[in-house]
Amino acid sequence: MLFTWFMLAGSIFLFAPQKLTDNFQYAFLRVFNWPLSIGENISLSVRTRQPLGDADVVPRREYNKLQNYRANIEGQLRKEHEKVEMLSGLRNRFPLEAGDLQVASVFPGSFDKLHGELSINKGTDDKVAKGQFVLSDNSIIGTVGDVSARGAKVKLFTNPTSSIAVEVANTKRLMWGSGDNLARIPMVTHKVKIDSEVMASSRKTGFLNAPMIIGKVLRCERSAKSPMLWDIVVEPVCDFEQLNDVAVIVINPPE
Amino acid sequence: MRWFRFAVLVLLATVLQASFFADLNIKPDLLLILLVFFAIYCDTSNAIICSFTIGFAADLIGRTMGPQMISFGLFGTALAYLHQVIVIRKMSYQALVIFITALLAGSMVYFLNSLKGEPTPQSMFAALFGIALYSALVGPFLFLPSAWWMRIKISRFSRR
């Protein structure tokens, strides 16, 4: 009898609308917020590496460029490992090996921080096309938006209308711009460490052959929609305001 | 049955599971270990209550409410009845029971989650196996402090 009543209660929980049952999870999180945060902090601090000494100091921008380069190389290496495992026999290509880099100048004053846009001086005459990735300081900064013959708008990944496929902590998700020089990856199932690298990836042929760094995790917050999921806030790894030149990745589709 | 001590123990395991172990890729399931512990060392009616309560606690830190309560309740009850017939005293047997219970209960949770429309992760079997294995390795060693806290004498255990 006891078993039957408990099974009935379990079934009610199972088939009740999630909005109602979420209240139980929220209540638990609210009541035990303090011990939960302590446990999370201990877990993170145990796994955090010790900071390096600052004996070898390089300029911040140079350091960021080198870090981005390292992240890209690691992304390429992972991709190459996957390819070797697949033994597909297709021609191996690094992200920029099969394409051209169209270096373009940023029009002075064209950077719009609020809307996440800037303008460049290369267009369809230089094979620049909508959707191509734009690179600066060895990191992806966004994609090409509207294009004219001799100019184009770059939709930065922080643009509120931007959505880019990314990989973070071995999870593939869509990253959405939030317009305040930040972007968000909503509804991630597990917590991600601060400063984790976010890699841009594209499944569309001819845009990007291997993941490249696009940003770093700034914050990891509990999702407002579900208490067990996380929203990740991503910040750029290069300073958009100091951009003078960018490079558009023009990759030819594989033969 | 000391219910206050039981509540403290389950709450502690729930908080640890949701915080300290949350970010680990490979982790034991503390609540599942407690499920097996109470199914083995309590009388049948208490074991049923404990199983469903632990399942409810697991649901509080899970993705949805219900699947673990049903799954833990079902397998905890089955284990309690099974223990009337078979004595599980040796640590190696306890580890085996934890391993099998983790696999069965975990599979049922995934099945019930799929009924609710939750997506099934690609690495479901690897995750199930990993949790079952680590719970089986750690579990029997946690039985001793759990028994001490619950004032259960496991060394002089006999069949009910």
Please indicate, yes or no, if residue A127 is contained in any of the structural domains. Answer: yes
Instruction: Give pLDDT, residue B86.
Output: 82
Please indicate, yes or no, if residue A44 is contained in any of the structural domains. Answer: no
The boundaries of the domain holding residue A196 are: 77-251
- Give percent above pLDDT 90 in chain A: 2
Asked if B22 and A11 come within 8 Å (Cβ–Cβ), the reply is no
H or E element that contains B112: helix B91-115
CATH number at residue A109: 2.40.10.340
Highest mean pLDDT among A71-75, A103-107, B102-106: B102-106
- Give percent above pLDDT 70 in chain A: 82
User: Taking the model in full, what pTM does it have?
Assistant: 0.54
Which residues of chain A are within 8 Å of residue B16 when distances are taken between CB atoms?
39
User: For B63-79, what is each residue's pLDDT tens digit?
Assistant: 788 889 999 999 999 99
- A92 — pLDDT class (breaks 50, 70, 90): very low
Which residues of chain A are within 8 Å of residue B20 when distances are taken between CB atoms?
39-40, 42-43
What's the gap between Cα A233 and its chain centre? 9
d(C-alpha A172, C-alpha A202), whole Å: 10
Q: Are B16 and B31 in contact (CB under 8 A)?
A: no
Which residues of chain B are within 8 Å of residue A226 when distances are taken between CB atoms?
63
User: For B112-143, what is each residue's pLDDT tens digit?
Assistant: 888 877 777 667 788 888 889 999 999 889 98
Asked if B19 and A36 come within 8 Å (Cβ–Cβ), the reply is yes
Which residues of chain A are within 8 Å of residue B117 when distances are taken between CB atoms?
none
- A186 — pLDDT class (breaks 50, 70, 90): confident
DSSP string for chain A: -HHHHHHHHHHHHHHS-HHHHHHHHHHHHHHTHHHHHHHHHHHHHHHSPPPPPSSS---HHHHHHHHHHHHHHHHHHHHHHHHHHHT--PPP--TTTTEEEEEEEBPTT--BTTTTEEEES--GGGT--TT-EEEETTEEEEEEEEE-SS-EEEEETTSTT-EEEEEETTEEEEEEE-SSS-EEEEEESS---TT-EEEE---STTT-SS-EEEEEEEEEEE-SS-TTSEEEEEEESS-GGG--EEEEEEEPPP-
Q: Are B127 and B121 in contact (CB under 8 A)?
A: yes
pLDDT at A47 over 60: no
What are the structural domains, with CATH classification, of chain B? 3-19+27-150 (1.10.1760)
Asked if A35 and B21 come within 8 Å (Cβ–Cβ), the reply is no
Of A217-221, A233-237, B85-89, which gets the smallest average pLDDT? B85-89
d(C-alpha A10, C-alpha B67), whole Å: 7
d(C-alpha A127, C-alpha B26), whole Å: 48
- Report the number of distinct structural domains present in chain A: 1
What integer is the mean pLDDT of A217-233? 82
In the stretch 91-110 of chain A, residues with CB closer than 8 A to chain B read: none
Q: Are B151 and B10 in contact (CB under 8 A)?
A: no
Q: Which residue of B has its CA nearest to A6?
A: B52
